[in-house]
Amino acid sequence: MNESAETYSIAELAREFDVTHRAIRFYEDEGLLSPARDGTRRVYSKRDWVRLKLILRGKRLGFSLAEIREMLELYDSAPGSSSPRLPPAARSSSTSARKSTRYWGRSAASSASRASS
């Protein structure tokens, strides 16, 4: 990580999260990440770092990319809210969906605080 500007290269993100460069570019193509550009170089912010963390956590919990996208949009749309509205997938009566959503919510807050330190 470039401490002065708090940015990451694709290689730094790939190494930190143990994913391939191609996986990160795929999430960008899907609209889940939106790095800035410096010529042809991708420059990822702390926001992108947190979003990648949440994407990977959502995948691990069994959410589809569409469900993960919806959850990320909810976090983006309510910047001051400590309790985001739940997406339809998480509003189901399934106990595991409720547990996953509670875990997801706690994880977002803890990831954001770790990224800012």
The string of pLDDT tens digits covering residues 9-38 is 999 999 999 999 999 999 999 999 999 999
- For domain 10-116, the question of CATH label 1.10.1660.10 is answered with yes
Do 107 and 54 touch, CB atoms closer than 8 A?
Answer: yes
State the pLDDT at residue 95: 45
CA distance 5 to 50: 16
With cut-offs at 50, 70 and 90, classify the pLDDT of residue 85: low
State the pLDDT at residue 63: 96
Residue 49's alpha-carbon distances to 60, 90, 91, 108, in angstroms, are: 17, 23, 27, 11
- Whether residue 93 is predicted with pLDDT greater than 50 in this model: the reply is no
pLDDT digits (tens, 9 = 90+) for 55-82: 999 999 999 999 999 999 887 776 565 5
Do 35 and 48 touch, CB atoms closer than 8 A?
Answer: yes
Q: What percent of the chain has pLDDT over 90?
A: 56
Cα–Cα nearest to 52, from 23, 92, 81, 77: 23
Q: Where are the domains of the chain?
A: 10-116
State the pLDDT at residue 25: 96
Q: Is 20 helix (H, G, I), strand (E, B) or coil?
A: coil
State the pLDDT at residue 75: 78
Do 33 and 43 touch, CB atoms closer than 8 A?
Answer: no
DSSP β-bridge partners for residue 72: none
